[in-house]
Amino acid sequence: MSIEQLAETARAMVAPGKGIIAIDESTNTIAKRFAGVGIENTEENRRAYRELLLTTPNLSQYISGAILFDETLRQGTRDGTRFADLMTANGIIPGIKVDKGPQPLAGFPGEVVTEGLDGLRARLEEYYKLGARFAKWRAVINIGEDIPTGTAIEANSHALARYAALCQEQGLVPMVEPEVIMDGAHDIDTCYEVTEVVLRSLFGSLYEFNVMLEGTILKASMVIHGTESAEKASREEVAAATLRCLKSTVPATLPGIVFLSGGQSDEDATAHLDAMNKAGPHPWPLSFSYGRAMQQAALKLWAQDMQGNYGKAQETVFARARDNGLAALGQWEG
Ligand code: 13P
């Protein structure tokens, strides 16, 4: 795979006014989302829900790609069209979550390291054949008393770099995601310090492992106060701190940065992205790769009446895509 092809895919993922919808919840994670609205976690319900999302009319106006879970990449619509084929036909790039989730890091209470490197080359080869053109790996960095440690940060950066190099070898754009978790009572300054160290470590590892940044996308968490923090930063403060942190750590050769929503409200996620883009131009396009902030309203509607609210749920997905697409241009009006 040439770097030009990887770079072209990466640029298409962050095309102006477009972002990614993350629907790559593992079977355990979607179980929690479904339980929250009273939907049974069966294979057919998961398939039907992903069909609702991916067949939203005109989705590709604001959505460049979607991240799927392994099961979804092998599924299709009721009438038998594979989701990956449907997406490609509609101009939405299929992506795939390839990590196997965080596991406790031995000897480091409260910290985790993401697993999934063993056998990854063969899995990537298969995912490419199934139509995937980018792949996501999520590292989890928790903030708490005396954590994160440098050891946990480095272990996660090392894994991210090894996965990213394998992706590029197999023709997939790596979407590297070091998520600094919002849970906790920490303030925005602590989140800033941690995020800065994490990103420095990540780009150091990517360099050591010969990962080509031109064919890589960063999926970042915003610099924001913890969910239990007594002091809440304003939207302007979150946008300014996130920009400052990214500008001091992320090389300008990267084709783009997308954000996760991480438990922010739908409106906060959109407003923060919009505020950052209103302060542009920046060295890279800043867009979204939201999971919950793209889906939670639609899932609620669908759960109330699967048939009756089908169209309404899709309209909600489209509205969230439009708002976030406008925010990616700094043109959201609130
Ligand atoms: P949220 O936007 O719900 O945080 O999910 C995005 C994601 O893909 C996390 O890995």
Nearest atom of ligand 1 to the alpha carbon of 24? 8
Is any atom of ligand 1 closer than 6 Å to the C-beta of 97?
A: no
Query: Strands 19-23 and 286-290, how do they pair?
Result: parallel
In order of their start, the domains of the chain are 3-327 (3.20.20.70)
Predicted pLDDT at 289: 98
pLDDT value at residue 203: 99
Q: Is 290 in the pocket of ligand 1 (CB under 6 A)?
A: yes
What is the Å distance from ligand 1's center to 99 Cα?
A: 14
* Cα of 82 from ligand 1 centre, angstroms: 24
292 lines ligand 1 (CB under 6 A): yes
Residue 1 has pLDDT above 80, yes or no: no
Residue 75 neighbours by CB distance under 10 Å: 19
User: 281: which residues sit within 8 A by CB, 6+ positions away?
Assistant: none
Model confidence band, residue 45 (pLDDT cutoffs 50, 70, 90): very high
Catalytic site residue from 44, 219, 267, 315: 219
Of the candidates 43, 177, 237, 333, the residue annotated as catalytic is 177
In the chain, % of residues over pLDDT 90: 99
Question: Is 136 noted as a catalytic residue in this protein?
Answer: no
pLDDT of residue 268: 98
- Ligand 1 centroid–CA 137 distance in Å is 11
Place of tokens 């920046």: 282
Predicted local confidence at residue 245, as pLDDT: 99
Q: Over the stretch 213-263, which tens digit does the pLDDT of each residue have?
A: 999 999 999 999 999 999 999 999 999 999 999 999 999 999 999 999 999
The answer to whether 215 and 6 have CB atoms below 8 angstroms apart is yes
Structure-block tokens of residue 92? 């939405």
Question: Model confidence over 133-143: pLDDT tens digits?
Answer: 999 999 999 99
Q: Please tell me the predicted confidence (pLDDT) of residue 175.
A: 99
Ligand 1 atom closest to Cα of residue 262 = 4
Q: Of ligand 1's atoms, which has the minimum distance to the CA of residue 259?
A: 2
Mean pLDDT of the chain: 98
Choose among 225, 285, 302, 222: nearest CA to 12. Answer: 285
Tell me if 95 CB under 6 Å of ligand 1.
Answer: no
Mean pLDDT within 14-21: 98
pLDDT in tens, 87-105: 999 999 999 999 999 999 9
Q: By the 8 A CB rule, do 89 and 104 touch?
A: no
Q: What is the pLDDT of residue 167?
A: 98
Look up 179 and say whether it is catalytic: no
Considering only CA atoms, which residue is closest to atom 5 of ligand 1?
A: 291
Q: How confident is the model at residue 294 (pLDDT cuts 50, 70, 90)?
A: very high
Q: Which atom of ligand 1 is nearest to the CA of 293?
A: 2
Q: What is the pLDDT of residue 316?
A: 98
3-state secondary structure the chain: CCHHHHHHHHHHHCCCCCEEEEECCCHHHHHHHHHHHCCCCCHHHHHHHHHHHHCCCCHHHCEEEEEECHHHHCCECCCCCEHHHHHHHCCCEEEEECCCCEEECCCCCCCEEECCCCCHHHHHHHHHHCCCCEEEEEEEECCECCECCHHHHHHHHHHHHHHHHHHHHCCCEEEEEEEECCCCCCCHHHHHHHHHHHHHHHHHHHHHCCCCHHHCEEEECCCCCCCCCCCCCCHHHHHHHHHHHHHCCCCCCCCCEEECCCCCCHHHHHHHHHHHHHCCCCCCCEEEEECHHHHHHHHHHHHHCCCCCHHHHHHHHHHHHHHHHHHCCCCCCC
CB-ligand 1 contact for 201 (6 Å cutoff)? no
Q: Whose CA is nearest to atom 4 of ligand 1?
A: 262
114 lines ligand 1 (CB under 6 A): no
Q: Of all atoms in ligand 1, which is nearest to the CA of residue 295? A: 3
Ligand 1 mean position to 177 CA, how many Å?
10
**Ligand 1 center from residue 293 Cα (angstroms):** 8
Residue to probe by mutation, ligand 1, list 13, 272, 292, 317, most atoms within 8 Å of CB: 292
Per-residue pLDDT reduced to its tens digit, 20-37: 999 999 999 999 999 999
What is the per-residue pLDDT for 227? 98
